[in-house]
Homo-oligomer: A and B are copies of this chain.
Amino acid sequence: MKKLFPLVTTDIALFTIQDRSLRVLMVRRANEPEFGKWALPGGILNPGDDAHLDATAQRVLSGKTGVDVPFLKQVATFSGAARDPRGWSLSVLYYALLPSDQVHAVAGRATDAIEWRDAYAPGSGLAFDHADLVDAALAMLRDKVSRAALPLHLMPARFTLTELQQTCESILGRPLDKSVFRRRLKDELCIEQLPGEFVYGAQRPAQLYRAVNGFRF
């Protein structure tokens, strides 16, 4: 029987920083089709519950990971007759950023098998066209950061400038000059110093900063 309506889903590329490298959350599928393959977390639109697709994405992500992200951005819409064996399908891709100090909250909550994969090498044999989706989300994230946007949603509540720089480097995949990076930050209004708060390690302590609340990515 021919389908008259497409299957409408959302998929979410949830990024975080782990071990100083950019990771994306993948889940192992527990149902057909593509049973056992790894995919981005995603779910089917429920017109009765969801006011709009952003709400679908929030609901799906919350259900799969237990995390409510403060920030969810549409990347692109993938569609066609060939991408899902069940028939004509349409998926709206979002990306979200998880602060690095909340990574473990996700892992603990999940019921299915999940993995944080290197965003630049999420593995071969992913379900559906999800390799393309990861690429698209990553490209959008990289693009934003390369245009001087700061990925503050990936940072913990308090962070040093070196940590912020390392996060940007993980996203861009290339080293940045410390002096240049900090010079740019002078003009930014979205981070603020925490006076008197430092990280003490085996060297000179580093000044702590935080995101100004109300910043936008």
A-B contacts, 22 listed (Cβ < 8 Å): A2-B47, A2-B48, A3-B47, A5-B5, A6-B45, A6-B47, A45-B90, A47-B81, A47-B87, A51-B80, A51-B81, A51-B82, A52-B80, A52-B81, A53-B77, A53-B79, A53-B80, A53-B90, A74-B76, A77-B92, A79-B92, A90-B90
Q: Does A88 contact B (CB under 8 A)?
A: yes
Find residues 47-95 in chain A having any chain B CB closer than 8 Å to their own CB. Answer: 47-48, 51-53, 74, 76-77, 79-82, 87-88, 90, 92
Residues of chain B with a CB closer than 8 A to A4's CB: 47
Q: Does A8 contact B (CB under 8 A)?
A: yes
Q: A8 contacts which chain B residues (CB < 8 A)?
A: 5-6, 8, 90
